Structure 1
């Protein structure tokens, strides 16, 4: 593509976010990495995505200093395996604050600029568990399910301004987040038609596809999951 498109990628220091930033860089995008830690991209922003005012200020600075943001890839997050009776209110609140609230804050920051220009893409990383659920993942699956609903609603709101909003809902992905989990068990891997976990670069490629302004995707939730859910 061109070499002047700017992407803001959250969760960019590791995992899916880092793979997405690397893939977009290879495709000619200028990438701003957002994370609690430094990220290895043209511009690294240290930010907690739950801080709406700082998020908005950083987006404003990017627009002024680098140019128009064409893509927000919202991948910041974490998971949690815990019986529901052990999940206290603070844990529930934090899960939704990061997974749903972080995505909402990013959209609130970039959308006014995209709507004014009549173009832009937003891709939010959800999860297959937000579609199919999983025992001991009630908090995580609930937050990701809420993300899916948010994407559907926002897509209808934004498309009249030429802004495409979509989501990617990966299955268990080969990142440190799944180390020591059931997703690494050979018995589980044997149930996958692909025979392996989804890789971060698989998700990055899906995000790049959805980011393409020529692709006619509106409110889609694509789920690259190695055949775990068909």
Structure 2
């Protein structure tokens, strides 16, 4: 049975969601649009598909949406992205740092260029984006920042040196920003998903299945869902609902937390 997204109103707010043209990011963008927020979409992908998504978000929110294609493999582009979004939509007061990439290899053979890319996209871009939205949030006395972390922000995993390092860094960034924003009306939190069946996860499942010579379903069950007490993938709507709640007035005293939405993995 599928879940229904949280029904909240964020009318009057403007949300920038990085990594929102594919996978879980699309669902997050749709959820914020349904809440009435103006949405700035970010990411790469098929131009026609992105144009359709921009139109859909506009219909859902009742406000014009815009797409930005900044390449976050240069982490500094996170700041440029915010500046571009501010120019088109006004000050961003909700920032969802969701863009993420993955590469799997043992440390001895881990390519240095992949380390640089993962740290830039998964951590550096979030820092630069937060730094860029800060003046506007400080000026208005209201801001919500939610970073997509992972259960791997809380533990390690073989072959994921850069990803695990970046996600641990995201928690440090989250907690420090939360402290600095505590008296300014700015909250900063991280959501730590378990396995969500996104294109990123699907690629890992397919690679594992090919390496082991197993069917996809068997690979999912024995090598991915085995560690999840619920024995199912987390639905994107569950992640979106957690993020929506963290952006409401009801969550104004919740800041600096790492919220697992993981089917019980961290339990």
TM-score > 0.5, shorter chain as reference: yes
Q: In the alignment, which of 37, 40, 43 is matched to residue 35 of structure 1?
A: 43
Aligned counterpart, 1:225: 262
RMSD: 2.0
In the alignment, what sits opposite 1:48? 71
- 1:154-208 per-residue CA deviation (whole Å, 9 max, x = no partner) reads 1111222111111111112111112252595212424422220112221111111
1:7 equivalent in alignment to 2:42: no
Give the Å deviation of 1:70: 2.0
**Correspondent of 2:242 among 206, 212, 220:** 206
Matches within 5 A, 1:96-175: 96-175=119-198
Q: 1:136 to 1:62 in 2, by over 3 A?
A: closer
- Judge conservation of contact 2:189–2:255 (CA < 8 Å) in 1: yes
In 2, distance between residues paired with 1:8 and 1:206?
A: 16
Note the residue ranges of structure 2 that are not aligned, 5 or more in a row.
Answer: 1-8, 55-64, 209-215
Bigger drift between 211-220 and 42-51 goes to 42-51
The 10-residue stretch of structure 1 (39-48 or 184-193) with the greater mean CA deviation from structure 2: 184-193
2:111 corresponds to which of 85, 88, 91: 88
Instruction: Give CA deviations for 1:131-164 in whole Å, capped at 9, x if unaligned.
Output: 0211121221111101111111111112221111
Q: Structure 2 vs 1, CA of residues 219 and 75 (structure 1 numbering), >3 Å: closer, same or farther?
A: same
Q: If the length of structure 1 is used for normalisation, what is the TM-score? A: 0.91
TM-superposed CA distance for 1:48, in Å, is 1.5
- Find out whether 1:79 has 2:114 as its counterpart: no
Shifted more, 112-121 versus 210-219: the winner is: 210-219
The CA deviation at 1:64 is: 4.2
Residues 49, 106 of structure 1: 8 Å contact kept: no
Q: Distance in 2 between matches of 1:185 and 1:65?
A: 42
Q: Are 1:26 and 2:61 an aligned pair?
A: no
TM-score by length of 2: 0.79
Q: Based on CA coordinates, which of the two structures has the bigger radius of gyration?
A: 2
Counterpart secondary structure, 1:169: strand
* Post-superposition offset of 1:51: 4.5
Report the counterpart of residue 186 of structure 1 in structure 2. Answer: 221
- How far the C-alpha of 1:54 sits from its partner, in A, is 5.1
**Corresponding position of 2:85:** 62
Change in CA separation of 1:83 and 1:51 when aligned onto 2, cut-off 3 Å: closer
Q: What is the number of residues matched between the two proteins?
A: 230
